[in-house]
Amino acid sequence: MLNKIIYYIILGILIVGVYGAGGLVIEEFKTGQGCPKIMGIPMCLVILTCFLVPLIVHLLKKGNTLYFLFTGLAASIAFMASIMQFKGCAECPKTATGTPMCYYSLLLFSSLILLKFHYQKSTKL
């Protein structure tokens, strides 16, 4: 029962993430100002990919290595962006309330990693 709840929480977080990052990607394609770029690559596109791959892996219930690779990469990017935002060295896109989205990304990806670890551990019992 708890595993089913965790499964759907993970699924919900991934869908919310795809929706949020997808909106930034659309804005980036429309205006070129949707998100920061590193070496010309929009980071929101990378983050969207880091939500989509784990979503597919989670739905297929296979390829947990890919799940952790992509969520770990995104968590690392969000962690670095959050530090840079906090120090004032970079500017993350903001929500309507003014909260930097990199903070939310860090929270979402950290949650996805922890929940998947717990889900895997409890399914092996």
- Identify whether the C-beta of residue 70 lies closer than 8 Å to the C-beta of residue 49: yes
Mean pLDDT of 40-45: 88
What six digits make up the tokens of 122?
């409890």
Q: What is the pTM of this model?
A: 0.89
Residue 54, pLDDT score: 97
Whether the predicted pLDDT of 125 surpasses 70: no
- Identify whether the C-beta of residue 57 lies closer than 8 Å to the C-beta of residue 67: yes
For the chain, give every domain's residue range.
Answer: 2-123
Residue 87, pLDDT score: 92
**Strand, helix or coil for residue 112:** helix
Identify the residue whose tokens are 């690559």: 41
- Identify whether the C-beta of residue 28 lies closer than 8 Å to the C-beta of residue 40: no
